[in-house]
Amino acid sequence: MEKQKAAIKKSETHVVKCVFPNTTNHYDTLFGGTALQWMDEVAFITASRFSRQKMVTVSSDRVDFKKPIPSGTFAELVGKVTMVGSSSLKVKVEIYVEQMYSDDRELAVVGEFTMVAVNDSKQAEAIVLK
């Protein structure tokens, strides 16, 4: 259990993106699809860092868009492993919107992704912490 706790802590992932006009919709806020793509990527990185195995996304659970993310802001994505099963794990991904020229930062989006470890034949395999 201590090994798992250490791996969870070590695998926490932070990625910061700049929200440019090419990633926004007609309301000048981040496209929901772009946010989901970024979140899935962070979930994959987090799961891979945790297990050091080949991981794939098998589902995205509820994703709540709490606040719009406007153009000209930073979006910090934070991925954390929340549950570990025999071959799967869950990663919670949060997106914080941060103003570029002040310390203002708010939680904007929250979602959870289920990731599965796979072998070379793309079949599920046990997660084995090294």
Q: Mind listing the pLDDT tens digit for each residue in 31-47?
A: 999 999 999 999 999 99
pLDDT at position 130: 79
Q: If we measure between CA atoms, which residue out of 93, 71, 91 comes closest to residue 17? A: 71
Query: With contact defined as beta carbons under 8 Å apart, do 55 and 44 qualify?
Result: yes
Domain boundaries, the chain: 2-117
Residue 128 is encoded by which pair of tokens? 């084995």
Architecture of domain 2-117 in this structure: Roll (3.10)
pLDDT at 128: 92
From CA 95, how far away is CA 12, in angstroms rounded? 14
CA–CA separation, 106 vs 66, rounded Å? 10
Q: Report the percentage of the chain scoring pLDDT > 90.
A: 96
Instruction: Please give the backbone phi and psi of residue 85, each rounded to the nearest 5 degrees, phi first.
Output: -110, -160
